[in-house]
Amino acid sequence: MVGTAKDEDIAADLIRTVSRHSLAYMLCAASEMFRHYDFDPLDLMIIHAVLNANVLKIMKNPELDRQFGSIQAVEPDKIKQGVSRAALSRFFGLPIETVRRRADRLKKQGIFRETDQGLIVTEANQFKFGNNHELQRTNMLLVRKFLRDLTEAGVELPGGI
């Protein structure tokens, strides 16, 4: 269904507002991630991109998303979707060699494991990537602030979120 011209004008008027607030959320979330871990920032971005790729099929399946939605429910390695170094290279716009070297080093540290589908962040990694409760709680606060700020700025959220 196509929106009215008025709806499109309102949406266009809010583009800059949404951009500002979403950039603030992304920067705050990245800052918290960098603060929690003593890792090179690019390595952290690669680790979290792998984490995200690992759970894409969970996020797309409402039943699995609910099953692994609790702070105590860690996704087991066997259901994680692997990601290739080439996909990471394309995602970040980095040379494949850069991604390969960094991923191999992270594998040696026990953060990544190679599967037939590609890299996964192991559920048993000593740094608790993907299972850092403090960081998860902080992110929940940041998301709530982001949604509240958007609502206060006049952005209508789907489903009254």
Structural domain boundaries of the chain?
1-37+135-154, 39-128
Q: What is the pLDDT of residues 77-117, one digit of tens each?
A: 999 999 999 999 999 999 999 999 999 999 999 999 999 99
C-alpha 58/C-alpha 139 separation (Å) is: 19
The CATH number corresponding to 39-128 among 3.30.200.20, 3.20.20.70, 3.40.50.300, 1.10.10.10 equals: 1.10.10.10
**Does the pLDDT of residue 2 top 60, yes or no?**
no
Give the pLDDT mean for 152-159. Answer: 88
- Helices then strands, counting H and E runs in the chain, come out as 7, 2
pLDDT at 1: 45
User: Rounded to whole angstroms, how far apart are CA atoms 11 and 18?
Assistant: 10
Kindly provide the residue ranges of all beta strands, DSSP E only, lying in 20-100, ordered along the sequence.
Answer: none
* Predicted confidence band of residue 157 (pLDDT cuts 50, 70, 90): confident
Task: Give the tens place of pLDDT for each residue, 31-71.
Answer: 999 999 999 999 999 999 999 999 999 999 999 999 999 98
